[in-house]
Amino acid sequence: MSNYFLPLILTLFAGMSTLLGGFITFFVKRNNLKALSVGLGFSAGVMVYVSLSELMAEAPMMLSQYYNTVTAKAFTFSGFLIGIIIAVLIDYFIPDHIESDFLTTNTHCAQRHRIKRAGLITALAVTLHNFPEGMATFLVSSEDILLGIPVAIAIAIHNIPEGIAIALPIFHATGKKRLAILYTFLSGISEPVGGLIGVVLLKTLLPAPTVGITTAAVAGIMVYLSFDTLLPLAREYGENHHVIIGIVSGMLIMGLSLIFF
């Protein structure tokens, strides 16, 4: 157990950095629709960039340890499609509008509901994303703690904009900063939990390639969420150039964090 203490601490540190992004709500006014539009675009930019440039690149590398190049790419693509299907099912079972006379007759409340829904689904997507991240950090750190430290720092930096992606819509919809922080906390804690559960499952039940396929599936979920939910909402609550500013800012910050960390 002593061999897993430091890896667990590193994984916890990486996951809890999501909270730093959540604290952005303390510096944003609730009714600032421009900030909301930029924030939703920022969220989409972060998710699309990290999905296509990082997760979809890592998945075939993980799978290539067990399969040839063509098979690894095929499993990666299959995992990506599975992720999109999962996102469609989530979209189906959590509809855009609750069947309620109160919501359908009160446009303002209906808008709040849609924004909150976007934040909740974003939190779910980031939580699913954090599971394989937690597994990777925990496994690498348990094998080589000196290698695990920079991995944990890199993931911690990447998690900050993801915390922003969760917190802004939740805060705007509810007006409760504590609730926004709670959701970022729950999403962040999934990283060390995912690390522990993942290691146990990989050592007992699941085949090792599952991590690679799961990584691709998470990319599919995040891309679908970005294009189906975040970007339409961003355009609805702001002007087009606000959305573009958010998208480019999200991609820029995530890209720089991947380069330097």
> Which residue in 62, 71, 86, 85 sits closest to 211, CA to CA?
62
Per-residue pLDDT, 109: 66
Please give the structure tokens belonging to residue 219: 């990319």
Residue 63 pLDDT > 80, yes or no? yes
181-227 confidence digits (pLDDT tens):
888 898 889 888 887 887 777 667 777 788 788 778 878 888 887 89
Q: What is the mean pLDDT of the chain?
A: 78
Instruction: Say how far apart CA 160 and CA 261 lie, in whole Å.
Output: 13
Instruction: Say how far apart CA 153 and CA 68 lie, in whole Å.
Output: 31
Across 19-28, 70-79, 124-133, least confident range = 124-133
Per-residue pLDDT, 1: 52
240 class by beta-carbon count within 10 Å (0-12 exposed, 13-18 middle, 19+ buried): exposed
Residue 176 is classified by DSSP as -
Q: Give the pTM.
A: 0.66
Quote the longest CA-to-CA distance of the chain: 59
Query: How much of the chain is in helix, strand and coil states, percent to nearest 5?
Result: 90, 0, 10
Mean pLDDT score, 175-184: 85
Instruction: Say how far apart CA 32 and CA 13 lie, in whole Å.
Output: 31
Instruction: Say how far apart CA 217 and CA 177 lie, in whole Å.
Output: 31
Instruction: Say how far apart CA 87 and CA 228 lie, in whole Å.
Output: 10
Residue identified by tokens 């590398």 is 61
Confidence band for 154, pLDDT divided at 50, 70 and 90: low
The domain spans of the chain are 2-260
CB 187 within 8 A of CB 130: yes
> Which residue in 40, 58, 6, 16 sits closest to 157, CA to CA?
16
Residue 26 is classified by DSSP as G
Instruction: Say how far apart CA 27 and CA 178 lie, in whole Å.
Output: 14
State the Cα torsion 113-158-151-75 to the nearest 10°.
60
73-120 confidence digits (pLDDT tens):
999 999 999 989 988 887 777 554 333 333 344 456 666 666 767 767
